[in-house]
Structure 1
């Protein structure tokens, strides 16, 4: 029968063995007499005298000691007695050249598992070692089960503390806290979130994965609460180790695909009584709501950080949406990345100062981006392919964890639009864009003074190049385009004349009739009856 034990991860885990005998050949023989690994043991060391044996038992804490009684320096029985007095709880198998009853009695009194005489019988030794391995295994299973029960009780009480209102949970006695492994001099709640944003490897990273590299498992409690992990650090030592952890997170430059780059922690103040944990937890929970505004590369936010002091200053100003939309359109029309970057910096400063609700900011920015998309596609239909669909835009902005990620999304896509515009910098290309815009929007209240800055010109210069490129001034071109459309509608004979005037951008039917007569030499009604309209 193979006695190899395995840990929680399925890896081989051997018990430790110390061999103590003053004769080299016997020590070496005991190492080879049986297959120790098959029986579940690894030889951790050996000792040639009593002093060495006593020191190695204290330092190595072996699970089993093979002890020769007649050792130089300190007698084997005294080594066993002193080890027990110093707290050693492992097993001893005594080996001696004598079968003296007095020695056997003393050995049993000190908890010796068995008493074997030299020369050692191989089968008898193997049988005793198997029995020791089985006994250790049972004890550890029982101890682990009890620890798990206590740990569950501690975790359940922590959950009750954070879920219920402060002051409604009865504070346990010292004895009860000790039984749940919750009695300590300091407590500190920590909230842990793991998120994914555009990650090729979506690895879920848990609190235990991080904390177990810095502290023992019994130094904290961990529960899942509202989709996030809540941790209760127990004791000053755990608090000190956590400070090392958060300093490491702050100092380390994460690779973009590292699981650690998806980690975010908040923590409340350390408190001295279990009853104060709820209030500290609420502070950590509030800080988690500020994660959206954290800087790039920031993975920790605590009650003692500067950002924790910022508070919301009110509602978002809807008028800024129109201002920023026009600003980005100007940046695209002018091919100016600098202008777009300045707008993004202005937006970041505004949102950081306001600290509005995360949901409201996402909605605001989604609307802004969709309006920019609509305006750009209206100006340049051929650039629709540069945008995602409306559904994908909403999904992308909604999935970003931080404000800076949404602004980066704006920067990348508007930058692509600006680069595309930059490939059309000639006057002829620009004028084709202007005429295309007029052709689709002639029914609107278009004016040279408002159209010029949209395409990156001042109005005086724009008027000159417009006349040079088209052979007529802006107003004449616009009226000619409107009259051309009105002729088409008159030929269709589906609308009344006043309706055609409105559809073509004329404020009233009299003005329309006057302009139509100027261009066509007849009134709209006469045109409708003329052979040309047939």
Structure 2
């Protein structure tokens, strides 16, 4: 129920408003009454009413002065002015201070009820918006751990390299990374053949053990890499010269606890010390490479990357890691500008390293193979292959016979551009078809209440995807397009004298005539009545 406060220095007015109007019909109840502005402010402070009737001319302070002060206490409540003053200046001042409406004394019960009805409708909209905002905020807060982990995952695998987005994400999720060590914990092979439920329990146990072990002196961020691998970013709460050594000591205790509590073993790889977010990808690679040496170290080992200096490690191969994945992801999304940029980065990197020609050919061979797999998958989705491009597999022979890096790079560009162009065409064709289906649905059903969720279900895409599509392709959101369709239909109906304005509103799917007039004026720059007079005469 919405609370109503009546403030007027005339007792008969207060009694009339309290007793004559059926407040329950409007889901309202009288919470109090006051005889002047001072008492009114006291009651407003006490009851925090949703709807306030106030006279302009009252003892002590005027109704307008009272509203100015009350707005600081209840900014979203609706103030309805009761006044015997018909001068426009009073109405203008009432609007300035934020009054919802201005009712002249005396007024009919019907007129007052109509104002109350509109005020309650807006209060309901506000309440629903607040509840929805609160619900969304709660969902967001509950999702922060997953969103934080997703952001860190994208960073360490270089899926997201946009510095601005990363900084925004860090600020939003409360992430701070300065000096750190990364560790990856992998469940040893004998524990690999477990049921999914058991694997999730094991993961939960590992995460709890690590967070508890490092809780006092370290800040920990986790990233689940797979069913049997979890990465942890370990940041010291105070500057530590022996950060890697301290983490190493904790790792021994973690192994012992996991084995004694959960009856399985883990291998732990520890990176060298890193600094800032830019080093996350490199330290993840150090841990991954460290785990690869379990062949020599055995299961249930703790492997420090700095201890691997005696082993052969192909630094050049590490330098190439990530380019293949970034290029393939850009191709899959049809992003031609990103593909061109990554191809340039690959070309620069190849010229910068001093590798055996066979290693370079192998790199290009593997990358073109991945691109060919993408080409085959998109070809299978199309009704028929109209591209007429030669099979990319024929390029392999050219790789073997290539004598210069530029020849290899040109072959890669040909393969990448061929596939990304095809995917781009395929995506645009689908986008246009989905959007056209959505627009047709709106044109056929504009007389009914239509939600974005309903439209998304009809077109078999998510609401987020459909909303972005409207904005990107039409330059307007779903609601704006729906309103435009309804207003265009309304303009046609208003040319017919048989229809009243409220009937036209209902015929185009807008049940509230007041809201219809507001929307109509926004799009046509005149009210429905003014438009009707102009076109019909």
TM-score greater than 0.5 by the shorter chain: no
The structure with the largest alpha-carbon Rg is: 1
- TM-score normalised by structure 1 residue count: 0.31
The structure richer in helix per residue is: 2
